[in-house]
């Protein structure tokens, strides 16, 4: 069953052989610890010296910290791969926690530099950047200094980092373990099996509504058994975060996520405004899907059910060839890169028990490689996910020769290349489809993306804002969390789901709410999706001639605000609703063709 579609296991032995028992990885972590300790000593010798005579020393410290960051990143990525490919890898989980300590030590030392940075005048800062030859990472350093000015005294910031290891981040690890251990009994090929939540999730895409309904009920039943613990975890994480914000005098709960996103609040508001105005337009799409599915009530578990020609599947090699061909038709370099990544087995795609849910692309900056994690099940959706993650991989490839501090692009821009790839393969499949049922399925795939990005992700954002607002005044009960989630979904979905069709435990089952590394892990996806839609529209108009400009845009994502990238490469103002309204309209333009095709299928 696992090899039905010839999906591969990835090669992570090329990074560190031996998995969580790897001696090479253990030696790497030991070397990392030694580097951290040595750099800590150099920091102690620099503390307090803010005159020009210390510029060279501080400059070397920053360069050393950049090298260490690459090592922390590489170690963290490898640990993440270990616990994703096997959620029961106990040693992998221990290593993951160990790396949290190294990351905290690195962050603590950067706090020491932040203290230095805010004590110098702007003129001295300019002088330092030039004297220390740090111009190529200036954007990173400037943003760091900007944040530092709004933080607590350095000794308190260091205390927070230390306490966060086993407190704040510990809750995140606890949730990951809890989610990984959850099982549900489900009938698979006539046999009752105990499957993970990652294996259960694709069942809600099944064309058989009874299978979808049962999968959803099993999901809610499983998370019901963990709801109180999830509520405790979410409240604890939020309490930590809000206490930190209070002591930093950060009045807005969006301050940190917007800083991380390299985005202005005006741009975010403009995007959600354009979406809110357009969302009711999905009703025609939903009504057509209801007829095709033969249902009168549209439920949470109906959103991703396939319509159209359902029997078309792709072996993994077929998916590879399709992606390489059609990505390559836009950019030869992008096609060749995708083939290389696939041939070198950078992708983990096998469907097997014990894997984590979801998909991701993670980087190994020292090796200048990436790895892709997913569970491939032969559907066109799986092909699209593979293309999506290969887009992330290409984005990293474009930035690989830049200093890592100049290649740290924000989440808002991280979805650009991935979404672009998805749009390309979906349009290619639609153009090649001769069968009306196949065309219907392809159009549905495109519209599903828009529906999820504009409704599901919006609901997450609304929930986050509401939850954090209430959490400021005390613990939010499990019952209230259910209520907030339902209220958020009803507002975001604008009546397109049935009154009884919502997922009240989504706050518990969605791991994004529990990630301590990135608060409000929601709006960057929608931003990235719509931003990429605009870029893709430009590519359609200019063809392969746009490939060079597209690569240049990606190359700037680590060194500019999102608004600056858009202005420089697209000539648009993201703080205005016009751009977002145009992007939303492009998404919605597929609704009428879908409705028309759906109507013909009834004939």
Yes or no: say if 209 and 302 are a contact pair by the CB < 8 Å rule: yes
Distance CA 531, CA 583 (A): 7
The structure tokens listed for 275 are 């979406």
Both 77 and 203 in a single domain? no
Q: Residue 129 belongs to a domain with what CATH number?
A: 1.20.140.70
- Per-residue pLDDT tens digits for 436-483: 988 998 899 899 999 999 999 999 999 999 999 999 999 999 999 999
- Per-residue pLDDT tens digits for 91-102: 999 999 999 899
- Asked whether residue 572 is assigned to any structural domain, the reply reads no
Yes or no: say if 573 and 563 are a contact pair by the CB < 8 Å rule: yes
The residues pairing with 371 across neighbouring beta strands, listed in sequence order, are: 362
Both 25 and 157 in a single domain? yes
Whether 490 has a pLDDT exceeding 90, the answer reads yes
Both 145 and 196 in a single domain? no
Q: How confident is the model at residue 202 (pLDDT cuts 50, 70, 90)?
A: confident
- Geometric angle at alpha carbon 406, from 405 and 410, rounded to 5°: 90
Q: How confident is the model at residue 196 (pLDDT cuts 50, 70, 90)?
A: confident
- Per-residue pLDDT tens digits for 29-79: 999 999 999 999 999 888 666 678 889 999 999 999 999 999 999 999 999
Whether 294 has a pLDDT exceeding 60, the answer reads yes
Both 25 and 161 in a single domain? yes
Would you state the pLDDT for residue 195?
84
DSSP string, 34-74: HHHHHHHHHHHHHTT--SGGGHHHHHHHHHHHHHHHHHHHH
Both 79 and 194 in a single domain? no
Both 112 and 62 in a single domain? yes
- Asked whether residue 65 is assigned to any structural domain, the reply reads yes
What is the domain count for the chain? 2
- Asked whether residue 33 is assigned to any structural domain, the reply reads yes
- Per-residue pLDDT tens digits for 550-569: 999 999 999 999 999 999 99
Residue 27: CB atoms within 10 A of its CB come to 11
In 3D, which of 318, 281, 598, 215 has the Cα closest to residue 444?
598
- Asked whether residue 30 is assigned to any structural domain, the reply reads yes
Both 34 and 64 in a single domain? yes
Predicted model pTM: 0.86
Both ends of the chain: CA-CA distance in Å? 37
Percent of the chain exceeding pLDDT 70 equals: 98
Q: How confident is the model at residue 2 (pLDDT cuts 50, 70, 90)?
A: very low
- Asked whether residue 121 is assigned to any structural domain, the reply reads yes
Would you state the pLDDT for residue 4?
78
Please name the helix (run of DSSP H) or strand (run of DSSP E) that holds residue 267, with its range, or none: helix 265-278
Q: How confident is the model at residue 1 (pLDDT cuts 50, 70, 90)?
A: very low
- Asked whether residue 579 is assigned to any structural domain, the reply reads no
Q: How confident is the model at residue 162 (pLDDT cuts 50, 70, 90)?
A: confident
Q: How confident is the model at residue 602 (pLDDT cuts 50, 70, 90)?
A: low
Would you state the pLDDT for residue 3?
67
Q: What is the mean pLDDT of residues 247-257?
A: 93
Q: What is the mean pLDDT of residues 320-330?
A: 96
Q: What is the mean pLDDT of the chain?
A: 93
Q: How confident is the model at residue 302 (pLDDT cuts 50, 70, 90)?
A: very high
Domain of residue 40, residue span: 19-166
The structure tokens listed for 91 are 């040693």
Whether 603 has a pLDDT exceeding 70, the answer reads no
User: What CA–CA distances, in Å, run from 192 to 144, 186, 203, 217?
Assistant: 53, 5, 14, 16
Yes or no: say if 282 and 451 are a contact pair by the CB < 8 Å rule: yes
Both 34 and 162 in a single domain? yes
Both 88 and 156 in a single domain? yes
User: What CA–CA distances, in Å, run from 104 to 42, 168, 218, 437, 498?
Assistant: 17, 12, 38, 53, 46
Both 116 and 151 in a single domain? yes
- Asked whether residue 195 is assigned to any structural domain, the reply reads yes
Please tell me the chain's helix, strand, coil percentages from 3-state DSSP, rounded to the nearest 5.
70, 5, 25
Both 138 and 24 in a single domain? yes
- Asked whether residue 103 is assigned to any structural domain, the reply reads yes
Phi and psi, residue 362, nearest 5°: -125, 150
- Indicate the range of 100-114, 187-201, 565-579 predicted with least confidence: 187-201
Both 126 and 206 in a single domain? no
The structure tokens listed for 578 are 């016009």
Would you state the pLDDT for residue 47?
67
Distance of CA 221 to the CA centre of its chain: 27
């Amino acid at each position: 069953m696992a090899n039905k579609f010839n999906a591969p296991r990835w090669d992570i032995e090329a990074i560190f052989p031996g998995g969580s028992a790897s001696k090479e990885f253990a030696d790497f972590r030991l070397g990392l610890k030694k580097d951290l300790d040595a750099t800590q000593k150099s920091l102690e010798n620099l503390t307090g010296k803010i005159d020009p005579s210390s510029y060279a020393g501080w400059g070397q410290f920053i360069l050393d910290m950049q090298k260490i960051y690459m090592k922390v990143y590489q170690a963290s990525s490898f640990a993440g791969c270990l616990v994703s490919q096997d959620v029961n890898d106990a040693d992998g989980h221990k290593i993951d926690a160990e790396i949290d300590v190294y990351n905290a030590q690195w962050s603590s030392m950067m706090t020491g530099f932040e203290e230095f940075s805010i004590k110098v005048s702007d003129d001295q800062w300019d002088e330092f950047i030039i004297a220390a030859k740090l111009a190529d990472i200036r954007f990173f350093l400037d943003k760091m200094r900007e944040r530092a000015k709004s933080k607590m005294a350095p000794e308190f910031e260091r205390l927070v980092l230390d306490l966060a290891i086993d407190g704040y981040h510990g809750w995140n690890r606890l949730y990951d373990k809890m989610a990984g251990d959850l099982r549900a009994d489900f009938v698979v090929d006539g046999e009752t099996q105990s499957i993970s939540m990652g294996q259960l999730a694709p069942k809600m895409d099944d064309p058989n509504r009874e299978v979808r309904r049962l999968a959803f009920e099993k999901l809610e039943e499983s998370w019901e058994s963990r709801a109180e613990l999830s509520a405790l975890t979410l409240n604890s994480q939020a309490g930590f975060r809000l206490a930190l914000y209070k002591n930093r005098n950060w009045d807005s709960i969006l301050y940190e996520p917007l800083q991380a996103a390299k985005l202005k609040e005006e741009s975010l508001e403009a995007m959600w405004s354009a979406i809110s105005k357009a969302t009711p337009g999905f009703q025609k799409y939903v009504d057509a899907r209801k007829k095709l599915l033969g249902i009168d009530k549209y439920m949470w578990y109906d959103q991703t059910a396939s319509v159209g020609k359902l029997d078309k599947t792709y072996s993994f090699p077929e998916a590879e060839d399709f992606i390489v061909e059609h990505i390559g038709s836009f950019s030869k370099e992008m096609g060749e890169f995708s083939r290389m990544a696939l041939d070198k087995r950078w992708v983990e795609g096998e469907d097997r028990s014990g894997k984590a849910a979801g998909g991701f692309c993670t980087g190994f900056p020292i090796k200048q490689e990436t790895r892709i994690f997913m569970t491939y099940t032969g559907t066109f959706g799986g092909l699209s996910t593979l293309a999506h993650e290969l887009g992330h991989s290409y984005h990293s490839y474009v930035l690989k020769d830049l200093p890592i501090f100049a290649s740290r692009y924000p989440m808002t821009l991280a979805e650009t290349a991935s979404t672009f790839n998805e749009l390309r393969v979906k349009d290619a499949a639609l153009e090649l489809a001769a069968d009306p049922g196949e065309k219907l399925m392809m159009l549905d795939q495109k519209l599903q993306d828009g529906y999820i990005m504009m409704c599901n992700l919006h609901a997450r954002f609304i929930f986050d804002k509401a939850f954090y607002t209430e959490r400021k005044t005390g613990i939010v009960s499990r019952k209230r969390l259910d209520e907030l989630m339902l209220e958020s979904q009803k507002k975001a979905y604008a009546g397109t789901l049935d009154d009884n069709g919502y997922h009240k435990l989504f706050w518990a089952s969605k791991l994004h709410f529990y990630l301590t590394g990135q608060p409000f892990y929601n709006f960057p996806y929608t931003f990235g999706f719509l931003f990429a839609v605009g870029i893709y529209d430009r590519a359609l108009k200019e063809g392969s001639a746009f490939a060079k400009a597209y690569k240049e845009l990606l190359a700037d994502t680590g060194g500019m605000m999102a608004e600056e990238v858009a202005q420089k490469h697209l000539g648009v103002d993201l703080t205005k609703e016009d751009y977002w309204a145009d992007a939303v309209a492009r998404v919605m333009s597929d609704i009428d063709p879908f409705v028309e095709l759906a109507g013909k299928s009834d004939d």
